[in-house]
Structure 1
Amino acid sequence: MDDIQHGTDTDADGDKDAALLQGYAQGDPAAARLLAMHLTPRIYGHAMRVLGDSAEAEDVTQEALLRLWRIAPEWRSGEAKVTTWLYRVVANLCTDRLRKRVPLPLEDVAEPADPAASVEDRLQNVARMDALQLALNTLPDRQRQAVVLRHIDGLANPEIADILEIGVEAVESLTARGKRALTVALAGQREALGYADEKNG
């Protein structure tokens, strides 16, 4: 799972996000554009992994950003990171949607193709991401959110605890159980997905 982990925000990134949000609140449209460009791919990617549906992920992303713009005038730097607040909103919006429907299969959902990769490599990557998504869809909602936040979004356990509003030990338990379940779900597909010769696919 660690090979799909992304980097987390540094303190400098958090300060920059807060400064941009304050700039937007003071009427600077460029600040809003820069902040949206920085945050949108991350929260859309998280919503996509949790919901497994691109249209719903887009809706959640737009709603979360609208809520961020609405609270911008009251934002107080130093109390929380913008990303932590936004991830919490996205997590709650995703939970609401998951409660209202059964996740759909993702046979027709493809990841953006890397133009530098061969056709065979692109197909292999799509197969891997589809398999991961389908395996994620089998997890209970809270496990799925914790696993995505930890192993895909690359956040630390204390920040995940803040986002999900649970204790750090509960985060550790959710991610451990979720990772074990994913390992079992993907175990029979290692060779088909091109992981046969890898130790940590």
Structure 2
Amino acid sequence: MAFTSDLDQITRAAAGDPAAVRALVGRYSPGVLSLATRMLGDRTEAEDVTQETFIRAWKALPGWEPRAKFSTWLHRVALNLCYDRLRKKRESLPGELPDQADRSLGPAEAYDQTQRVGAIEQAISRLPERQSAALTLCALQGHSQAEAAEILDISVEALESLLARARRTLRAELLEGSTSR
């Protein structure tokens, strides 16, 4: 069954159409899972947040009004759930390092690259929640500043300020870390 638009799928999903529900989950769950994984640093928790995001979405769909793009709204729900989990644990646990080593590199270079990726991820996890979220949305997930601002429910100017502070903090921390080796 072909759908003409997100709105058509949303309308059908709100009415209980399982094909529409599957289509929306298929389209949006990778982005929600990616955001949650980067925010929480834990794939299992991120999967839980993704599932909870869609449960909340389905409950809200019958009354949902398209004031924002559906994807923006879903990311906002996921981000709020991530904030809740981060507040509950308060200690940041480093996440699993992705397999990002370039296969053309030798073992020493691949190790160095993995160490740099790990240092960056740990530094991002230590940022204040909103700075981490802004950086994750824009730099790691590729959202435009306007989309990220909408997800965070702030102005573009406030987002730019968060990004500037996050980058400045990261730069300082990473430079400090590289000089202490």
Q: Which residue of 1 aligns with 2:75?
A: 87
Secondary structure of 1:104's partner? coil
Q: How does 1:184-195 map to 2 (within 5 A)?
A: 184-187=172-175, 188=177
Q: Report if aligned partners of 1:135, 1:185 keep a CA contact under 8 Å in 2.
A: yes
Which structure has more relative contact order (CA 8 Å, sep 6+)? It is 1
Q: Report if aligned partners of 1:49, 1:136 keep a CA contact under 8 Å in 2.
A: no
User: Could you tell me which of 40, 60, 79 is aligned with 2:29?
Assistant: 40
Displacement after TM superposition at 1:162 (Å): 2.1
Q: How does 1:38-187 map to 2 (within 5 A)?
A: 38-77=27-66, 79-101=67-89, 102-106=91-95, 109-111=96-98, 117=103, 120=107, 126-187=114-175
Secondary structure of 2:58's partner? helix
Cα-Cα RMSD? 2.7
Partner Cα separation in structure 2 for residue 185 and residue 89 of structure 1 = 30
Secondary structure of 2:5's partner? helix
Over 3 Å counting, the alpha-carbon distance change for 1:65 and 1:182 in structure 2 is same
TM-score by length of 1: 0.74
Partner Cα separation in structure 2 for residue 128 and residue 22 of structure 1 = 45
Q: Report if aligned partners of 2:94, 2:121 keep a CA contact under 8 Å in 1.
A: no
Partner Cα separation in structure 2 for residue 39 and residue 129 of structure 1 = 26
Aligned length: 173
Partner Cα separation in structure 1 for residue 77 and residue 120 of structure 2 = 24
Taking only the aligned residue pairs, the percentage that are identical comes to 42
Describe the superposition over 1:148-168 as per-residue Cα deviations: whole angstroms up to 9, x where unpaired: 111112222232222222222
Partner Cα separation in structure 1 for residue 110 and residue 14 of structure 2 = 42
Q: Which runs of 5+ in 2 are unaligned?
A: none
Q: Report if aligned partners of 1:110, 1:130 keep a CA contact under 8 Å in 2.
A: yes
Structure 1 or 2: larger helix share? 2
Q: Which runs of 5+ in 1 are unaligned?
A: 1-14, 193-201
